Amino acid sequence: MRELELKYGCNPNQKPSKIFMKEGELPVKVLNGRPGYINFLDALNSWQLVKELKQATGLPAAASFKHVSPAGAAVAVPMSETLKKIYFVDDLELSPIASAYAMARGADRMSSYGDWAALSDVCDAQTATLLKREVSDGIIAPGYTKEALEILKTKRKGSYNVVEIDPEYQPAPIEHKDVFGVTFEQGRNNFKIDESLLQNIVTKNQELSDAAKRDMMVALITLKYTQSNSVCYVKDGKTIGVGAGQQSRIHCTRLAGNKADTWWLRQNPKVLALSFVDGIRRPDRDNTIDVYISDEYDDVLRDGEWQQRFKTRPEPFTAEEKKEWLKKLSGVTLGSDAFFPFGDNIERAHKSGVQYVAQPGGSIRDDHVISTCDKYGMVMAFTGMRLFHH
């Protein structure tokens, strides 16, 4: 099949709409549902991300995409019991690829609501079972077991989007897109991200562990498929905060850092102890947790509708308690798709436990950024490669 008609483009008024190949066959098959224009943008970008993560780390990889940027990405590493609880998978037996998706989605559950899932490996029944109970628009993978496909076909009253991609497909080296009737042409970003990029360590601290190198790979490959400007925080093989599409890099760093802080705060005993009423919808529970952690909680606490979500009224999570808990977050890796122009980015990153930094370098203020890293004993590698994605 060389072309596939879509319902509409980015918006309902944008018709006609289709995906097609000028030469050869489409590398994707729709096994269920009717994916749309944005669905396929998410699918093709997220597939590239997980494929490259698998190639770089040798581990199964997964991503959770929304509006052509990852809400989260992860490789299959062991999960603690606490992480299983905050990802709401402590009642499931998970395969490596299912674990990777649980961690990718758990990075930012608010943003992953209605996501597009991507898997580097064949989707198995455990991953399908996990997906079935989450609010998700679709999935792309190189294959599906028979049981997994049967499970996914029951989701969303049978309309869940299931796409299979040819894992051997290689796109043309030159790509095009039209903007306002003008065709743009460029070479594909085939730049390979591997550990050879991390040799130029510019800080006084030169100790870069294997785990930190892996996390830098996760950060940089995630950034390669995140709308720029973009910054990514990673810990133990998984993103914990992604800041995408901001005009200012410090705003990216703050946005992603705030998400990383929320990820960590969710592991506080007070949050883990929240007791919800039976039958609460998963999105309502996630939203309530987010508000409980936020500075809005004291105001929302007065709202009876919110209180009805709890079996017992929870104690407030005070600003001082949050501050003390955040001090315990450490060993985080920070990646940036372009150079940090000022040391303020490093100052903000330090507040979220960042110890390792990977960025291209090349700012006229590199010396200031390096000295700020040195102040906190961080390790920073200059990769020399910008990773803008638009």
Residue among 151, 67, 63 at smallest CA distance from 105: 63
DSSP, collapsed to helix, strand or coil, labels residue 211 as helix
Q: Among this protein's residues, is 67 annotated catalytic?
A: yes
Strands 379-382 and 354-359: parallel
Q: How far apart are CA 371 and CA 343, in angstroms?
A: 8
Q: Please choose, from the candidates 94, 111, 88, 91, the residue with its C-alpha nearest in 3D space to the C-alpha of residue 60.
A: 94
- Among 280, 286, 385, 279, residue whose Cα is nearest residue 337: 385
Q: Count CA within 13 A, CB hemisphere, residue 283.
A: 8
Phi, psi of 323 (to 5 degrees): -60, -45
Strands 18-20 vs 3-5: parallel, antiparallel or unpaired:
antiparallel
3-state class percentages of the chain: helix first, strand second, coil last, to nearest 5: 35, 20, 40
Instruction: In whole angstroms, give the CA distance from residue 180 to residue 230.
Output: 25
Annotated catalytic residue within 22, 146, 157, 390: 390
CA–CA separation, 166 and 43 (whole Å): 13
Q: Which two tokens stand for residue 8?
A: 């509409």
229 catalytic per annotation: yes
How are strands ordered across the β-sheet holding 332-336? 28-32, 161-165, 136-141, 115-119, 61-66, 69-75, 238-244, 230-235, 332-336, 354-359, 379-382
Q: Which of 32, 39, 229, 345 is catalytic?
A: 229
DSSP code at position 128: H
With 0-12 / 13-18 / 19 or more C-beta atoms within 10 angstroms meaning exposed / middle / buried, residue 14 is exposed
3-state secondary structure 42-103: HHHHHHHHHHHHHHHHCCCEEEEEECCEEEEEEECCCCCHHHHHHCCCCCCCCCHHHHHHHH
Instruction: Tell me the residue length of the chain.
Output: 390
Q: Which residues are marked as active site?
A: 66-67, 229, 390
